[in-house]
């Protein structure tokens, strides 16, 4: 597709609209505007046109502005609580310091379109300009009620730093990575960190490229409020009825909720099982030292645990590690007096155990030394000491509700 074909045939440059659905309302709450070109009965995406570095910015801006005008002419008739997402490359957004684009939006405001409905979806991963100027421009736009969304998790190590600087209202997450087994695990770990950051800055998570049911479930489970993708509805030249998927989404959410409830019940049951099993061993070995206690625990927990140790309430290890290897259990004395209070949730869990007087089964996490996905059961064993039992991945796998 030649750029000149498009520039000399702007009549056939048209907007398509992909609906965005919300978890809380189960209906359309926004549309993303996508550029299309109509050629000999075919509809062609304009994505490559805007990504082509050989095309001057003024040509891209002309086509982009036309798309915005055509899209907003149609969107102005939508209900007032429906937002419009406009894709803006950071370099293109800075064209002539962003003023012509703002004036175009203000012209639509005079026609009755509240700028509070506009969301600028910024792609700035390859932005080479002054980041402070971009931030200043976005802050200026915000004074008119315009919101900012940042798209995608990329490989840029500064991604989290950029989110922190731009402080977007919406963080858009591409679920394409879930299709690959090689990247799915690391993607989940990064997403966990991103969800914590989003919560800290008050941003909403929007998951895009949802193409299958399990991706929708993943988005729901990982704090996604907004959803978009072909599984829900493809881009189209017209708007759809807002309640179109309400019953379908409600049904899906009921499935997801039922599944998570079963998992939570399994986790609570496992915690109760470990509590009773370990407490019984502790009572029988009330006068035993740690080595004798570990001997009893290893016998009873042989098919469940692979590492055990005791810490005080400040995180200092008071015992050796007892670790299960290929040839049975052995001790690691070098861990005595190491401190683990720096670990996430360590002190929080100590206080919880101390106050409730019972054990805790941890969330899933990757073990630092083995790299395997595990859980840890921890339990108070006297006034100041706490026993930690690391559960094997194999046991979790055999009891798959724990994974």
- At 232-241, the pLDDT tens digits run 999 999 999 9
pLDDT at 349: 96
Mean pLDDT of the chain: 92
pLDDT at 37: 96
Whether the CB-CB separation of 367 and 360 falls below 8 Å is answered with no
pLDDT at 217: 96
pLDDT at 14: 97
Tell me the CA end-to-end span of the chain in Å, nearest whole number.
Answer: 48
- At 153-187, the pLDDT tens digits run 554 556 777 787 889 999 999 988 777 665 666 77
Top-tier CATH class for 3-233: alpha beta
pLDDT at 383: 81
**Strand duo 170-174 + 147-151: pairing:** parallel
- Indicate whether this model's pTM tops 0.85: yes
Spatial CA neighbour of 208 closest among 76, 34, 25, 8: 34
Low-confidence ranges of the chain (pLDDT < 70): 1, 124-126, 152-158, 180-185
Both tokens assigned to 195: 């969800």
Please name the residues in contact with 219: beta carbons below 8 A apart, sequence gap of 6 or more.
173, 175, 205, 207, 210, 227
**Domain at 260-398: CATH code:** 3.30.450.20
Residue spans in the chain of domains classed CATH 3.30.450.20: 260-398
pLDDT at 78: 97
pLDDT at 95: 86
pLDDT at 30: 98
pLDDT at 157: 52
d(CA 258, CA 264): 10
Residue spans in the chain of domains classed CATH 3.20.20.450: 3-233
d(CA 90, CA 33): 17
């Amino acid at each position: 597709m030649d750029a000149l074909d498009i520039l000399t045939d702007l009549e056939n440059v048209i907007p398509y609209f992909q609906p965005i659905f919300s978890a809380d309302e189960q209906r359309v709450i926004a549309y993303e505007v996508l550029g299309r070109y109509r050629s000999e009965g075919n509809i062609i995406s304009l994505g490559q046109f805007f990504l082509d570095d050989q095309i001057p910015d003024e040509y891209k801006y002309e086509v982009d502005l036309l798309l915005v005008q055509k899209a907003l002419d149609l969107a102005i008739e939508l209900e007032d609580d429906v937002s419009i997402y406009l894709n803006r490359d950071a370099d293109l957004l800075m064209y002539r310091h962003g003023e012509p684009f703002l004036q175009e939006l203000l012209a639509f405001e005079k026609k009755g379109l509240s700028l509070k409905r506009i969301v600028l979806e910024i792609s700035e991963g390859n932005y080479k300009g002054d980041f402070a100027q971009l931030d200043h421009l976005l802050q200026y736009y915000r004074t008119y009620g315009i919101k900012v969304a940042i798209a995608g998790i990329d490989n840029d190590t500064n991604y989290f730093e950029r989110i922190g600087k731009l402080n977007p209202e919406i963080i858009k997450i591409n679920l394409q990575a879930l299709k690959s087994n090689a990247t799915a695990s690391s993607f989940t770990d990064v997403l966990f960190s991103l969800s914590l950051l989003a919560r800290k800055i008050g941003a909403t998570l929007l998951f895009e490229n949802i193409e299958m049911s399990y991706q929708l479930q993943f988005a729901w489970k990982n704090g996604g409020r907004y959803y978009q993708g072909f599984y829900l509805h493809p881009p189209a030249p017209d708007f759809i009825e807002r309640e179109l998927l309400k019953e379908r989404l409600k049904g899906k959410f009921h499935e997801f909720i039922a599944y998570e409830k079963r998992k939570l019940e399994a986790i609570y049951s496992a915690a109760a099982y470990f509590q009773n099993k370990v407490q019984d061993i502790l009572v029988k070995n009330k006068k035993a030292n740690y080595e004798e206690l570990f001997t009893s625990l290893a016998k009873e927990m042989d098919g469940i645990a692979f590492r055990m140790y005791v810490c005080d309430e400040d995180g200092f290890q008071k015992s050796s590690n007892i670790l299960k290897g290929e040839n049975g259990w052995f001790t690691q004395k070098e861990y005595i007096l190491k401190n683990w209070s720096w670990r996430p949730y360590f002190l929080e869990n100590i206080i919880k155990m101390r106050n409730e007087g019972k054990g805790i089964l941890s969330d899933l996490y990757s073990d630092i030394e083995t790299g395997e996905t595990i859980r840890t059961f921890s339990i108070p064993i006297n006034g100041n000491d706490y026993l930690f039992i690391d559960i094997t991945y194999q046991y979790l796998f055999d009891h798959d509700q724990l994974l």
